[in-house]
Amino acid sequence: MKGKTSERKVGQPVVRKASSAGRKARSAVSEVTVTFRHVEPADAIRQYAERKLKHVGSRLKRSCLIHLILTVDKYRHQGEVTVKCGRFDMTAQEETKDLYAVIDLLADKVGRQLKSHFAKVATQRVRAPSAVEVLSAGEDFSNAEELKAGPDTSRF
């Protein structure tokens, strides 16, 4: 029984395929932890930070740990985020006068860092030809020169 079945008895469950977006969301789960220093922990700020930083985790293929540290010193609101995904580690720091602005800036900065990292990885995937490929290309080139010259008519 694949897909949605139209002929079913009452009380039997409908069988549906899982969407690709649903499978991707289940495969890469990011765990966001928020630490407050010198400030009372607020659920609104925690939920806002989790919502903003979940998008960072959705760009990665593996599950990752995202740790956000929010600090308040008089009028300076500082934030530091650490993303750990397998062997890949990334950190970012920001400082403004508003905690929500700090979270926004950190999410943007981490997104830019991920984008540049993926661009570097994509350029590193281009590899040089192997020795066998170079030699076979050289043989093809020498055969092409012989064909252009035509038959040897110097002895006639």
Question: Where are the domains positioned within the chain?
Answer: 28-124
117 or 80, greater pLDDT: 80
Q: What is the pLDDT of residues 97-156, one digit of tens each?
A: 999 999 999 999 999 999 898 888 888 777 677 777 777 777 665 555 555 555 666 665
pLDDT value of position 106: 95
Q: What is the pLDDT of residues 11-60, one digit of tens each?
A: 666 666 665 555 554 556 788 999 999 999 999 999 999 999 988 877 78
* Burial group, residue 66, by CB count within 10 angstroms (0-12, 13-18, 19+): buried
> In CATH, what class is 28-124?
alpha beta
Model-wide pTM > 0.85: no
CA–chain centroid gap for 22, Å, is 17
Lookup: tokens for 156:
């006639």
